[in-house]
Structure 1
Amino acid sequence: MFSVIMASQSFAETAPTNKPIVKVGSYNCPPFVIESEEKTYSGLSVLLWEKIAHELDVSYEITNHGLGELLDDVANGKMHIGVSCISITPEREERLDFSHSFYETHLAIAIKQQSHLDTLISIFTNTKLLLVIGIAFLAASLVGGIYYLLEHKINDKLYSMESRKARWVEGFLLGLLFITKGPFNYYEFRTLTGRILTVLLAVFTTFFIASVTAVLASTFTLGLLSSDIRGPNDLANLNVGAKETSTSSTFLTNHSIVHRAYPDIEDMLDALDRDEVDAIVADDAVLKYLIKKSKEQGHYEQLTVLPYQFEKQNYGLVLENNSPHREKLNRALLKIRQSPEWRQALQNYFAEK
Structure 2
Amino acid sequence: MQLRRLNQTVSTILLLGAMLLFSSLASAQTSFKVGSYNCPPFVIENDDGSFRGLSLLLWQQIAQRLQLEYEVSQHELEDLLEQVSNNNLQVGVSCISITPEREQLLDFSHSFYETHLAIAVKPRSVWSMVKNFLTNRTLWLVIGIVSLIACVVGFAYYRLERKVNDKLYSMPTKAGRGIEGFILGLLFITKGPFNYYEFKTLTARVITVLLAVFTTFFLASITAVLASTFTLGALTSDISGPNDLRGKRVGAKTESTASSYLQQRGIRHRTYDDLEGMMQALARGEIRAIVADDAILKYTLNHTDSEDQYSGISVLPYQFERQNYGLVLPENSPIREQLNQALLEVRTTSQWQQTLTEYLAQ
Tell me how far apart the structure 1 counterparts of residues 261 and 87 of structure 2 sit (CA, whole Å): 28
Deviates further, 204-213 or 99-108: 204-213
Q: TM-score, normalised by structure 2?
A: 0.87
Aligned to 1:336: 346
Q: Decide which of 269, 282, 285 is 2:279's aligned counterpart.
A: 269
SS in 1 for 2:308: coil
Assess if the C-alpha contact under 8 Å between 1:111 and 1:279 holds in 2: yes
SS in 2 for 1:282: strand
Q: One-letter code of the match for 1:133?
A: I
Decide which structure has greater helix share. Answer: 2
Q: Decide which of 56, 74, 90 is 1:80's aligned counterpart.
A: 90
- 1:176-215 paired onto structure 2 within 5 Å: 176-215=186-225
Q: Decide which of 56, 80, 99 is 1:89's aligned counterpart.
A: 99
Q: CA deviation at 1:282?
A: 0.8
Aligned to 2:19: none
Deviates further, 323-332 or 181-190: 181-190
Q: CA deviation at 1:163?
A: 5.7
Are positions 1:259 and 2:258 aligned together? no
Tell me how far apart the structure 2 counterparts of residues 199 and 156 of structure 1 sit (CA, whole Å): 21
Q: CA deviation at 1:220?
A: 1.0
Tell me how far apart the structure 1 counterparts of residues 29 and 334 of structure 2 sit (CA, whole Å): 18
Aligned to 1:152: 162
SS in 1 for 2:143: helix
Q: One-letter code of the match for 1:178?
A: F
SS in 2 for 1:225: helix
Assess if the C-alpha contact under 8 Å between 1:178 and 1:184 holds in 2: yes
Q: One-letter code of the match for 1:235?
A: L
Query: CA offsets per residue over residues 255-311 of structure 1, 9 Å max, x none?
Result: 111111111111111111111111111111111111222377333112111111111
SS in 2 for 1:297: coil
- 1:8-87 paired onto structure 2 within 5 Å: 16=26, 19-87=29-97
Deviates further, 28-37 or 83-92: 28-37
Q: CA deviation at 1:340?
A: 1.3
Aligned to 1:241: 251
Are positions 1:302 and 2:315 aligned together? no
Q: TM-score, normalised by structure 1?
A: 0.89
Q: One-letter code of the match for 1:196?
A: V
Q: One-letter code of the match for 1:275?
A: G
Tell me how far apart the structure 2 counterparts of residues 296 and 14 of structure 1 sit (CA, whole Å): 49
Q: One-letter code of the match for 2:217?
A: F
5+ residue gaps in structure 1?
Answer: 1-12
Q: Decide which of 127, 137, 140 is 1:117's aligned counterpart.
A: 127
Tell me how far apart the structure 1 counterparts of residues 119 and 127 of structure 2 sit (CA, whole Å): 23
- 1:305-320 paired onto structure 2 within 5 Å: 305-320=315-330
5+ residue gaps in structure 2?
Answer: 1-22
What is the RMSD of the two structures over their aligned residues, measured on CA atoms? Answer: 2.2
Q: One-letter code of the match for 2:86?
A: N
Tell me how far apart the structure 1 counterparts of residues 290 and 351 of structure 2 sit (CA, whole Å): 33
Tell me how far apart the structure 2 counterparts of residues 33 and 15 of structure 1 sit (CA, whole Å): 30
Tell me how far apart the structure 2 counterparts of residues 17 and 86 of structure 1 sit (CA, whole Å): 28
Runs (4+) of structure 1 exceeding 6 A deviation are: none
Assess if the C-alpha contact under 8 Å between 2:42 and 2:56 holds in 1: yes
Q: Over alpha carbons, which structure has the higher Rg? A: 2
